[in-house]
Structure 1
Amino acid sequence: MENPNYQIKVNKNEFVWNSLGGELTFDGAPALLFWDSAIELFLKTIEEISGNDVSKTVYEVTGFRMGHLVSTYYKGRTDVVELLNEYSDIYKSAGWGIFEIHDYSYEEKRAVVRIRNSWEHRIFKLADKNKVCVLLPSHWAGIFSGLFQQDMWYKMTKSQLDGHEYDEVEIFPSNITISQNIHELARRKEQESIFELEKKVEARTEELSSLVQELSSPIIPVLKGILVIPLIGKYNEERISNMTEKSLIEFTRLKAKYLLIDLTAIKQVDNYSIHGIEKLIQAIRLIGGRCFIVGVSSELSIQILNSNVNLDGIRSFSSLQQGVEYAIGQNGYELVKKK
């Protein structure tokens, strides 16, 4: 039977294809081959689904973990300089580009890697994107984290996007970890979501506040010289201020004498609202008008009494009808049933 395996050596690296099993091994380990365009599509899909910030973290986490995994294959080797040269040959043979260890110090736990014609740069260039590479630099940070047995991170000191012949990556000890990166990203996205939600709530609140101001506390002319203002819902400082201002404007414009404050729609009243009513009464008095409180239920009257607000001298009525009839009489008119 014909041998199904096809074998080739590139530099010191061995590729073996099993044509029957559809398998490829690279230096004895299972491997895959992809076109640059396929990897480009893969990365682009991640960006489209995740967005730029998330995809950058995904690339860095993936690159770092891949590099750390590679370092475990050579665990225990003491000839680190020779090993790093082997790494460069491996990546060159695999089509990853040209990697040069420009500077290295095991004592200081530092290294400088120069990268040319990497698949990451080729893909971004093919896609016509001016995007700094992050996956391969973080990959080398993962490799050196394994070799140095401590957390390492990277910094881009030169980029081909700026006209340099290579990407230069400085690897150094760092407190930054992949777990922290993921955690910080999650917190940042959470904060962004909260901020967006707050903006929506703020916009909706402004819209609702405007609607409430338009619909609540309308000034209703009943008869000549008599106005009614029905109170609806709960009142805050802004609503009380708007109610008082609107009442004064309409009271003056219509040359009214009496303002009936209708509490029929109020089931519960707090001290703040009662103080607001007192403020409105005082304001109407200052321009020569009189206020009556109407629509006061027995429960509401108890709440007002317990509020310790002084409403002495203010006439109140259990219904709007009674208040209107009294104001008509005070205005010099009377209601007579038609025969």
Structure 2
Amino acid sequence: MLMQNAMDLLDEGVLISDKQYRIAYANPAYGRIFELEMEEIIGRRFSELYPDSDMLELAVGNDEREEVAEKQHRIRGKEVVLEWFTKSFREDGEVYILARVRDKTAEKEKEDRLTYIIEEMTVNIVTIAKGFGLLPLQPILREAQKETLLTRVPAACQKKQIDRLAIQFASITSIDEAWGDLLRRLIQNLQLLGVEVALAGLRPEVAMQFTNYRIRLDGVRTFRNLQQATRYYYGQS
């Protein structure tokens, strides 16, 4: 009884079923997550509530190891993301399945918004003049940004008809060999599309790191700041 009272107070959903997936216990948080009353849950088979879900089956025959999975569900017409922790256990010789459920919908939405913002900042090419654009280079915060930089920046240049691109380094405080390789690949992609690339606004310590890591960018001009790069490209117009 003490354990049940404690589980009733949890914010995460808790469900216990027998090996036939008949539900023996569900805490109030579980009911809130799935918008169900207790009388709709207790005594029912899991498949009756969720015909398309096999989450509880993950726990059967796993030698009592906990399985973790994140799945998208549709509840009362709403899309939700739930994280399931399932584990089998024995009580008085019988096998039971314990499932813990966390609603990660808000967290997933927040992560998606952050990802969108980071991606948009990564490829934020500003048109300075006809055919001349500026890419304020941003720090790489996650691995997915690298692919975004390599694929979306060349596509954006084509879309905006940019044939001269100044990559501004004002926000970059340090680089390493991996950064150098990424930059080389980006510049190669752009050059193959006929885009002339220049670097502007390198900090002295970053310029030294280029030398220390022996990062060579053939055919790429460098400028002290954006104003200098703009004067050069305006002179070509």
TM-score (norm 1): 0.41
* Residue 16 of structure 2 is aligned to residue 53 of structure 1: yes
Higher relative contact order (CA 8 A, sep 6+): 2
Q: Deviations over 1:236-265 (max 9, x none)?
A: 553232223333233223333211011111
- State how far apart, in whole Å, the 2-side matches of 1:274 and 1:176 are: 56
- State how far apart, in whole Å, the 2-side matches of 1:270 and 1:311 are: 14
* CA spacing shift, 1:318–1:49, aligned 2, 3 Å: same
Q: Residue in 1 aligned with 2:131?
A: 225
* Mapping of residues 97-108 of structure 1, within 5 Å: none
* Mapping of residues 238-257 of structure 1, within 5 Å: 238-257=144-163
Pick aligned residue for 1:210 from 110, 116, 119: 116
* Mapping of residues 21-170 of structure 1, within 5 Å: 49=8, 53=16, 131=43
| 2:148 match: secondary structure | helix
* Mapping of residues 163-182 of structure 1, within 5 Å: none
Contact 1:227/1:260 (<8 A) preserved: yes
- State how far apart, in whole Å, the 2-side matches of 1:271 and 1:231 are: 17
Q: Kindly name which structure, 1 or 2, has the bigger radius of gyration based on alpha carbons.
A: 1
Runs of 4+ in 1 over 4 A off after TM superposition: 45-48, 54-57, 127-132, 175-178, 197-203
TM-score (norm 2): 0.56
* Residue 210 of structure 2 is aligned to residue 304 of structure 1: yes
Pick aligned residue for 2:196 from 278, 290, 301: 290
Pick aligned residue for 1:274 from 180, 187, 194: 180
Looking at secondary structure, tell me which structure has more helix per residue: 1
Contact 1:235/1:273 (<8 A) preserved: no
* CA spacing shift, 1:48–1:284, aligned 2, 3 Å: closer
| 2:127 match: secondary structure | strand
Pick aligned residue for 2:219 from 300, 310, 313: 313
Q: Deviations over 1:125-178 (max 9, x none)?
A: xx999759xxxxxxxxxxxxxxxxxxxxxxxxxxxxxxxxxxxxxxxxxx9568
| 1:324 match: secondary structure | helix
Identity of aligned residues (%): 19
AA matched with 1:223: A
* CA spacing shift, 1:131–1:260, aligned 2, 3 Å: closer
Number of residue pairs aligned between Structure 1 and Structure 2: 168
Report deviation, 1:198: 7.0
Report deviation, 1:56: 5.8
> Structure 1 stretches of 5 or more lacking a match?
1-41, 58-126, 133-174, 333-339
* Residue 229 of structure 2 is aligned to residue 328 of structure 1: no
* CA spacing shift, 1:297–1:46, aligned 2, 3 Å: closer
Report deviation, 1:222: 0.7
| 1:316 match: secondary structure | strand
> Structure 2 stretches of 5 or more lacking a match?
18-22, 26-38, 45-88
Looking at secondary structure, tell me which structure has more strand per residue: 2
Q: Deviations over 1:213-238 (max 9, x none)?
A: 12333111111221111012215553
